[in-house]
A and B are shown apart, each in its own frame.
Chain A
Amino acid sequence: MAELFTLPVLLGIAFSGIRLATPYLYAALGETFAQRSGVLNLGVDGIMLMGAFSAFFVALNTGSLWLGLAAAAVVGLLMGLLMALVSITFKAEQGISGIGLYMFGLGLSSLLFRTTVGTVKTISGFQPVKLPLLGDLPILGDIFFRHSLLVYGAFLAVPLAWFILERTTWGLKIRAVGQQPAAADSLGVNVTAVRYACTGLGGVLAGIAGASLSIALTNLFQENLTSGQGFIAVALVYFGGWRPLGVLGGALLFSFVNAFQLWMQVLVPEMEADIAVMLPYLLTIAALAVAVNRTRQPAALAKPFERGEA
C-alpha cells in the first residue's frame, strides 16, 4: 500500500484523473443547466454517443478536429431539442423519455458507425498543449498544464457555468423557472423558452463531452464508447447539489479514485481487480452519505409546467 503514496504515483493519478474527469464535467455541467431549469434528462449518455460519433466521423473525413467538435455540438443540440420537444412541449414523463433518448442515441450512433465507418479506426485527436509558463512549472506543469484543449475547456466551463447561473439575468430566469415556474410566468418570463434553451445547452455540452472522448482522449469511436458515462454524469449532478463547483468536486472524486484503483491493481497485485474497480462507485455513494447533504433539488424538477394550475 505504501508505494501508492509516492510522488510519481500521485502525479500519475492526478494526470489520469484529470483526463478521466473531462467528459463527466462537460456532460454533468450541461445536465446541471437542464435540471436547474426543471428538466430531468436521463438521455445524456445517448447524446454523448451521438456527439462522440459525429465528432469522430467529421474529423475522420475532413481532417479538421474543430469541425468535428462543431459537429458534436450541433448534433448534441439537436438531440437536446428532441428531448425538450418530448418532455416540455409534449409533457412526457421525463424519467422515461430520457431512457428513450438514450436507446435512440445508442442505436443510431452504432448504426451510423457501422454503415459509414465500418470498423474501428483511430485518428490523431487533439494533442496535449503545454501552456506557456504554467506548463514549465516543476511538477504541477506536467500534471495540470500539459493536456489537450478540450481538457482545459472542461475545467474552464465550471466557473463559466457558475457565473451564468449565479450572476446573470439568464441564470436568474433559469433558477426561477426550475423552482417556481408559475412565479416566473406571472412576470412574463417564457418558461418554455427557458427550458428549451437549457435542455438544448445541456445537449450541446453532452455532445462536446462525447467529442472529448472520441477526438481527444481515446481518438477513436466504437459502439457504446461511453459505456454508461452519461448516467454517471447525471448522478454527479445530484452529487454536486446542482452547483457547478459541487459537480466539479464529484467529477474529480470519481475520476481520481478511478485512476487510483488502476495504480492499486499495478502496485498491489494481490488486490482483486474486480473489487478495485468498484471503488469509485462505492466511494462516491459513501462521500455523499457522510457529507451533510442539505441542498434540495429544484422544486419543479421533472414537473411539466401548466399555466393556471395550483
Chain B
Amino acid sequence: MTQPRPPVSQLSQSLRQRKRSAPPQWGDLAAALGLPALAVAAALLVGALVLLMLGANPLEAYAALIGGALGTSAGLIQSAVKATPLLLVALGIIIAFRANVINIGAEGQIIAGALAATWFALAFRAWPGPALVPATLLAGFAAGAAWGFVPGLLKARLGVNEILSTVMMNAIALQLMNLLLGGPMIDPAEVAAGTFIAQSERLPQHAWLPRLVPQTLLHAGAILAIVLAVGVYFFLWRTSAGYRLRAVGQSPEAARYAGIPVPAYQMLSLTLAGGFAGLAGVVEVLGVHHRLLEGITSGYGFSGIVAALFGKLHPLGAIPASFLFGSLLVGADKMQRAVQVPSALVGTLLGLVVLFVVGSDYVARRQAARRAAARAAEEGERG
C-alpha cells in the first residue's frame, strides 16, 4: 500500500518492475506513456482521411487542432476550463470503478448538483461570498451524492443493477431540470421580456468562483479539482475505508469473510461518485455559466468516463488525462472553425481516439509481459 498499484495501471506496474530489478525498465515506461500517444496519432491519421473526403486540408486542420489547444495561452486556459469538470467526474468514476461499480449516471448527477447549487446560491444570496460559495459547493455535492445514493441503495438492498438504475436516473434528472427551468426556477427577466428562455436567474457576483486569470473562464474550481484528485488518491490508498472499498471491488467474497460490509461500500462508492459529478455541476454553474441553463452537462458525464480511462483509472493519472482530453475538445473546435467542417467531425474523431487508446492499453500490457518474460528467462538460465 505504500506503493499504490492500480492493477490496470501499466505505468505504475512498470515503475514497480523498476523497483524490483535494476536496471530500470525504461522500455515499460516508454510503452506505458508512448503507446497512448501513438494510438491518438493513429486515430488522427484515420481522421485525416475523413478530412480529405470533406475537402479540407488535414495538415492545416491538425495544425489548428494542436495550435488552438496548446499553442496559445487562450487555448491552454480553455483546455483547463474544460478539464475541470472532466476531472471531477473522472474522480467519481474512478472511485466507483475501484469498488467494481460502473457509474453511467454522471450526467444526471451533474444536473442534480447544478440544480441544487443554483437553488441554494439564489435562496441564500444574502449570505456573504466566503460563506455562500463553500456552502453552495457542499449543497451541490450533497445533491449529486443523493443522486448516486439512490442507485447505490437499490443495488445494495434490492440487487437492482447500477447500469439500469443510473441510466434511468439520468433521464429523470433531465426532466426534473426541464420542469424547474420551465417555471419555478426560470429567470423572472425572461418572463418579463416574454422570451421564456429556459435558464435560471443569473447568480449574484459574490456567489461566483473567483477567476484565476482575469477576463477568462478559468476559475478556482480548477484548483479545487486538483486538490480533490490528490485527496481521492489519499483516500483510496492511504485510508482504511479506501482499502476496504478496493477490497470490495477486487473480491466481494473475500471482503465478506474479512468482515467488510460489501453492500455498504458499494453504496458508498456510488454516493461518492455522484457527489463528485455533482461538484462538476456546481463549478460549471458558479465558475462558468453563473446560472443554470439547458445542456449544462455538455456530455461531461460520458467524456469524464473517458478521461478516467486515459488516467488509467488512477486519481493522479486523471489530472493530466483530463487536461489532455479537454485540450483535445478545445483543439477540435478550433479545427472546426479553421477549416469550416461540420462539428460532427469532432465527435467522430474523439470516438476514434477513445477506441484506439483503450485498444493500445492491452498492447502495452503485453509488451511489458514479454519484456518481463525475457528478463525472467535470463535469470532462469543463471539461477
Could you list which residues of chain A lie within 8 angstroms of chain B, going by C-beta atoms?
Answer: 42, 46, 82, 85-86, 90-93, 95-97, 99-108, 110-111, 113-115, 223, 228, 231-232, 234-236, 238-239, 272, 274-275, 277-278, 281-282, 284-285, 288-289, 293, 297
Could you list which residues of chain B lie within 8 angstroms of chain A, going by C-beta atoms?
Answer: 8, 50, 53-54, 97, 102, 104, 154, 158-161, 163-165, 167-172, 175-176, 178-179, 182, 302, 305-306, 308-309, 313, 342, 344-355, 358-363
Q: For the complex formed, measure the closest distance between the CB of B353 and the CB atoms of chain A, giving whole angstroms.
A: 8
Contact of B160 among A97, A102, A110, A289 (CB under 8 A): A289
A92-B358, A114-B344 given as contacts; is B351 within 8 A of A288 (CB)? Answer: no
Taking CB atoms, residues of chain B closer than 8 Å to A275 are 175, 179
Ordered by A's residue number, 17 sampled pairs between the chains whose C-beta atoms are within 8 Å are A86-B355, A86-B359, A92-B361, A95-B97, A96-B309, A97-B358, A97-B359, A103-B306, A104-B351, A105-B351, A106-B351, A108-B351, A235-B164, A236-B164, A272-B179, A275-B179, A285-B164
Q: Are A285 and B347 within 8 A (Cβ)?
A: no
A103-B302, A108-B351 given as contacts; is B172 within 8 A of A234 (CB)? Answer: no
Contact of B347 among A106, A234, A274 (CB under 8 A): A106
Q: Are B351 and A103 within 8 A (Cβ)?
A: yes
Q: For the complex formed, measure the closest distance between the CB of B310 and the CB atoms of chain A, giving whole angstroms.
A: 9
How many angstroms between the C-alpha atoms of A285 and B361 in the bound complex?
35
- What is the predominant secondary structure among interface residues of chain A facing chain B? helix
User: Which residue of chain A has the shortest Cβ distance to B102 in the bound complex?
Assistant: A95
Contact of B175 among A91, A277, A285 (CB under 8 A): A277
Q: Are B306 and A99 within 8 A (Cβ)?
A: yes
Contact of B349 among A86, A107, A223, A282 (CB under 8 A): A107
Taking CB atoms, residues of chain B closer than 8 Å to A285 are 154, 160, 164-165, 168-169
Q: Are B342 and A115 within 8 A (Cβ)?
A: yes
Q: Are A111 and B172 within 8 A (Cβ)?
A: no
Taking CB atoms, residues of chain B closer than 8 Å to A277 are 175, 178
Q: Are B362 and A90 within 8 A (Cβ)?
A: yes
User: Which residue of chain A has the shortest Cβ distance to B183 in the bound complex?
Assistant: A272
Taking CB atoms, residues of chain B closer than 8 Å to A114 are 342, 344
Q: For the complex formed, measure the closest distance between the CB of A86 and the CB atoms of chain B, giving whole angstroms.
A: 5
Q: For the complex formed, measure the closest distance between the CB of B105 and the CB atoms of chain A, giving whole angstroms.
A: 11
How many angstroms between the C-alpha atoms of A34 and B54 in the bound complex?
35
Q: Are A293 and B358 within 8 A (Cβ)?
A: no
Most buried by A among B50, B308, B362, B363: B362
Q: Are A110 and B347 within 8 A (Cβ)?
A: yes
A111-B344, A277-B175, A293-B158 given as contacts; is B163 within 8 A of A90 (CB)? Answer: no
User: Which residue of chain B has the shortest Cβ distance to A276 in the bound complex?
Assistant: B175
Contact of A107 among B53, B104, B347 (CB under 8 A): B347
User: Which residue of chain A has the shortest Cβ distance to B347 in the bound complex?
Assistant: A107
Taking CB atoms, residues of chain B closer than 8 Å to A223 are 344
Taking CB atoms, residues of chain A closer than 8 Å to B313 are 93
Q: Are A111 and B345 within 8 A (Cβ)?
A: yes
Q: Are B168 and A235 within 8 A (Cβ)?
A: yes
A100-B358, A289-B158, A293-B158 known; 9 new pairs, CB 8 Å cut-off, are A42-B163, A90-B362, A95-B97, A97-B359, A106-B351, A107-B350, A228-B171, A285-B160, A285-B164
Q: Are A111 and B362 within 8 A (Cβ)?
A: no
User: Which residue of chain B has the shortest Cβ distance to A254 in the bound complex?
Assistant: B168
Q: For the complex formed, measure the closest distance between the CB of A104 and the CB atoms of chain B, giving whole angstroms.
A: 3
How many angstroms between the C-alpha atoms of A99 and B358 in the bound complex?
11
Q: Are B347 and A103 within 8 A (Cβ)?
A: yes
Q: Are A278 and B172 within 8 A (Cβ)?
A: yes
Taking CB atoms, residues of chain A closer than 8 Å to B344 are 107-108, 110-111, 113-114, 223
